[in-house]
A and B are shown apart, each in its own frame.
Chain A
Amino acid sequence: MSNPIGLQDGGLADPASTSGASEEPGGPVISKSPTQLAMGRLLKDKLTMISAAFVVFFVLLALTAPLAYHVFGWIDPLKSDQDLLNDFSLPAGKWGGISSDHWLGVEPGAGRDTLARVWYGTTFSLLIALSATIVAMVLGVVLGIVSGAAGGWVDAIIGRIIDLTLAFPQTLMLLALASTGMIMVRNYLHTPAGNVTAAVYVVIVLGAFGWTSIARIVRGQVLSMREFEFVHAAQMMGASKVRIYFREILPNLWAPILVTFTLMMPAFVSAEAALAYLNVGIGAPTPTLGNVLSDSISFADTAPVYFFVPACMIAAIVISFNLLGDGLRDALDPKGNR
């Protein structure tokens, strides 16, 4: 299927057009590598730099949550405090119980600190998204390279597997398989019951359905790169096929892989939330952004702050990763000398 925004062109497919020298009248000719050119474009792109800063911020949040909880004791996502709630089990005080102790208010029902829930939830949400992205990436890159490198019937079979994977309705499968899938995960991988099994199941299934896009991109890149001089040179030196494809060609695919990676993360953060709404995946009391939000919808009208905070957090993560991915793609596109 065609790729609307031109991901296929996202790599360093055409060194001829990129290894140009920037010529300043009168000055010395400065040659820049494609990477330097891309970095230059990236640094000039304000929106992308801002979204990159946000992405770094969210990743830092995710990394520091365990420290803030276990080491410094700033937050406690599990501590429930009924004193913070009024007679209706809703947050006492204005604005959903926002105070100097509870910056983002209090969770209705259990009386836990929303900031702690959302902060720690970011850790688990990003962890799941990252693991699923890695699974999808490894599957997709390996199958894409094998497909492009082997050609013939291997290529045809992998192509059919991609068709088959795409024919499965994803959300439906994730939900429908949940019951049997979790049993399989527990039996075959011997994971402890409960949230670990649920998380492993979600990661495996998201990855198993998410690898097709990167596989197609990698296959296309491999096909175009097969005829490059450095590949012929490696062949001349008697390099094995495995070496050529995984040691020579693969490192040159970092650009499309990076872009797809950045765009896959937010998709899986959203997917985690959607699945949490369907009661698949990590469940309370362990917080994820998805299960905090899906818990909050029963208080949508009575505790608006608690309803909007996790949703805005998810939206902020999704937007910043998406904008960063778009910016990276534009910057890494060798034709992007605008």
Chain B
Amino acid sequence: MWAYAARRVVIGILLLLALSLVTFILFFASPADQAKLACGKQCTQAQIAVTEKALGYDKPVYEQWAGFAKGVVAGRDFPIDQAQREAAPETVTHCAAPCLGFSKYYGETVNSLIKDYAPISISLAVVAVVLWLFFGVLLGIAAAVTKGSILDRGIVGLTLLVYAFPTFFIGVFFLKYVVVKWGLLDYPYYTPIAEGGVWGWLTNLWLPSLTLALVFLASYVRMTRAFVLESLGEDYIRTAKAKGLNSRAVLFKHGLRAALTPLVTMTGIDFGTLLGGAIITESVFAYPGLGLLTVQSSQAWDLPTVVGIVLIAGSFVVLMNIIVDIAYAFIDPRVRLG
């Protein structure tokens, strides 16, 4: 069991190393003049050269990556060039481990940027995952037990309909129609728990989270429905019924059991992806999460921030994968042998 977990963690770490290397190659091996872009349009040739040295763009990609990897482990100081640091010690920014880089555009370390923006993405993801899991599983079961009925068709059809509309359309529809035109809800602004308490946090969060959850709802409904239907035809269900177990226990204890493994997998991966920022939803609702940060920083060619977010988001996915794999070992005894 622990050996299995340890192996998964090691593979995960290797995957993250590969991820950072590939990200680096993708972003920094491009023919674009990174230093010029980071410096801005008004920069002179000399200023560009200074920026290039300050951010280490004058070095080959593998050296930049090695510096980055060292920063993650041990932290590093910016500007990267030692001569520059000694010439102007007052401009030196220390970036403690795990250091993800320095954004010239925002004038702060990528870590502090992510620290500011991540809570919003995490909040959105948490509320969304609760919404889609609750309604997805509930509607999926309802559809499965009423297979072929109007209810079943209605549930499957409606969730597909909602899925088919682009997220930003649904978000804008909620904002411009439900909130502004019809005045049914208050305009949502992100309120941290520290300011508005749990209630204020939640009431401002649920509309964007619902927008996010609606994208995922259809696949969770269909999957729950498919697995519950499949397991309801199994012999052990007949046995459970025959021994006089009430139908609710049969459904929730035995029927839903088969759907548990794929549900855990899907939830883990979708949740992991969302932790890295829901770009569209955050843009529509103007919620300053990692997604919005990505939009802003990629428009500003602020590559260190973009790379930092990609890596954080990738780590979330890898981390959730590890958690899912370990959860398997608990849910499904057969996995432990593998």
Q: Is B168's beta carbon under 8 Å from chain A?
A: yes
Give chain B residues whose Cβ lies under 8 Å from the Cβ of A164. Answer: 15, 18-19, 22
Choice from A1, A5, A172 contacting B265 with Cβ under 8 Å: A1
Choice from A187, A266, A311 contacting B169 with Cβ under 8 Å: A311
Q: Is B207's beta carbon under 8 Å from chain A?
A: no
Q: Is B64's beta carbon under 8 Å from chain A?
A: no
Contact digits for B153-165, partner A, Cβ 8 Å, 1 yes 0 no: 0000000110111
**Contact A2/B314 with A176-B298, A177-B26, A274-B168 known, Cβ cut-off 8 Å:** no
Q: Is A319's beta carbon under 8 Å from chain B?
A: yes
Contact A318 B298 (CB under 8 A): no
- Give A45 to B169 CA distance when docked, in angstroms: 32
Q: Return B214 CB to nearest CB of chain A, in Å.
A: 13
Total contacting residues, chain B, CB less than 8 A: 56
- Give A270 to B114 CA distance when docked, in angstroms: 29
Contact B165 A172 (CB under 8 A): no
- Give A270 to B280 CA distance when docked, in angstroms: 12
Q: Is A193's beta carbon under 8 Å from chain B?
A: no
- Which of A66-74, A231-239, A292-300 lies at the binding interface? A292-300
Contact B313 A169 (CB under 8 A): yes
Give chain B residues whose Cβ lies under 8 Å from the Cβ of A294. Answer: 168
Give chain B residues whose Cβ lies under 8 Å from the Cβ of A167. Answer: 15-16, 19, 314, 317-318, 321
Q: Return B25 CB to nearest CB of chain A, in Å.
A: 11
Question: Which chain A residues (267-307) contact chain B, with CB distance < 8 Å?
Answer: 270, 273-274, 277-278, 290, 293-294, 297, 300-301, 307
**Contact A178/B298 with A172-B309, A301-B181 known, Cβ cut-off 8 Å:** yes
- Give A304 to B177 CA distance when docked, in angstroms: 10
Q: Is A163's beta carbon under 8 Å from chain B?
A: yes
Q: Is A138's beta carbon under 8 Å from chain B?
A: no
Contact B283 A169 (CB under 8 A): no
Contact B269 A184 (CB under 8 A): no
Contact B269 A4 (CB under 8 A): no
**Contact A270/B222 with A164-B15, A176-B294, A297-B172 known, Cβ cut-off 8 Å:** no
- Give A261 to B13 CA distance when docked, in angstroms: 34
Q: Return B150 CB to nearest CB of chain A, in Å.
A: 14
Contact B165 A179 (CB under 8 A): no
Choice from A5, A176, A318 contacting B164 with Cβ under 8 Å: A318
- Give A111 to B16 CA distance when docked, in angstroms: 50
Report, as a range, how many residues of chain A touch the other chain: 35 or more
Q: How many Cβ-Cβ contacts under 8 Å join chain A to chain B?
A: 138
Q: Return A279 CB to nearest CB of chain B, in Å.
A: 8
Q: Return A319 CB to nearest CB of chain B, in Å.
A: 5
Nearest chain A residue, comparing its CB with the CB of B21: A164
Contact digits for B260-286, partner A, Cβ 8 Å, 1 yes 0 no: 011001100100010011011001000
Q: Is B240's beta carbon under 8 Å from chain A?
A: no
Give chain B residues whose Cβ lies under 8 Å from the Cβ of A300. Answer: 172-173, 176-177
Contact A6 B226 (CB under 8 A): yes
Question: Which chain A residues (139-172) contact chain B, with CB distance < 8 Å?
Answer: 160, 163-164, 166-172
Contact A172 B291 (CB under 8 A): yes
Give chain A residues whose Cβ lies under 8 Å from the Cβ of B314. Answer: 167-169
- Give A167 to B269 CA distance when docked, in angstroms: 9
Give chain A residues whose Cβ lies under 8 Å from the Cβ of B242. Answer: none
Q: Is B323's beta carbon under 8 Å from chain A?
A: no
Contact A274 B167 (CB under 8 A): yes
Q: Is B223's beta carbon under 8 Å from chain A?
A: yes
Q: Is B27's beta carbon under 8 Å from chain A?
A: yes
Contact digits for B276-306, partner A, Cβ 8 Å, 1 yes 0 no: 1101100100000001001100110101001
**Contact A270/B277 with A179-B298, A319-B160, A319-B161 known, Cβ cut-off 8 Å:** no
Give chain A residues whose Cβ lies under 8 Å from the Cβ of B176. Answer: 300-301
Q: Return B262 CB to nearest CB of chain A, in Å.
A: 5
Give chain B residues whose Cβ lies under 8 Å from the Cβ of A307. Answer: 172
Contact B227 A4 (CB under 8 A): yes
Contact A163 B15 (CB under 8 A): yes
Give chain A residues whose Cβ lies under 8 Å from the Cβ of B266. Answer: 4
**Contact A169/B166 with A4-B223, A5-B226, A183-B31 known, Cβ cut-off 8 Å:** no
Which of A5, A6, A172 has most B Cβ within 10 Å?
A: A172
Contact A169 B317 (CB under 8 A): yes
- Give A8 to B138 CA distance when docked, in angstroms: 26
Q: Return B268 CB to nearest CB of chain A, in Å.
A: 10
Contact A169 B276 (CB under 8 A): yes
Q: Is A322's beta carbon under 8 Å from chain B?
A: yes
- Give A315 to B27 CA distance when docked, in angstroms: 34
**Contact A2/B15 with A187-B31, A277-B168 known, Cβ cut-off 8 Å:** no
- Give A338 to B1 CA distance when docked, in angstroms: 42
Choice from A2, A6, A172, A319 contacting B313 with Cβ under 8 Å: A172
Q: Is A173's beta carbon under 8 Å from chain B?
A: yes
- Give A166 to B313 CA distance when docked, in angstroms: 11
6 interchain residue pairs of minimum CB distance: A180-B30, A315-B164, A318-B164, A4-B223, A169-B313, A300-B176
27 sampled A-B residue pairs with Cβ under 8 A: A2-B261, A4-B226, A4-B266, A164-B15, A164-B18, A164-B22, A167-B16, A167-B317, A169-B277, A172-B276, A172-B291, A172-B294, A172-B309, A175-B279, A176-B294, A176-B306, A176-B309, A179-B32, A183-B31, A187-B31, A270-B166, A274-B167, A278-B279, A301-B180, A311-B166, A314-B169, A316-B164
A-B contacts besides A172-B291, A311-B169, 18 pairs, CB < 8 Å: A2-B261, A4-B219, A4-B222, A5-B223, A167-B318, A169-B317, A172-B294, A173-B310, A175-B279, A175-B295, A178-B298, A180-B32, A266-B164, A277-B283, A278-B279, A293-B169, A307-B172, A318-B164
A: which residues have CB within 8 A of B? 1-2, 4-6, 160, 163-164, 166-173, 175-181, 183-184, 187, 266, 270, 273-274, 277-278, 290, 293-294, 297, 300-301, 307, 311, 314-316, 318-319, 322-323
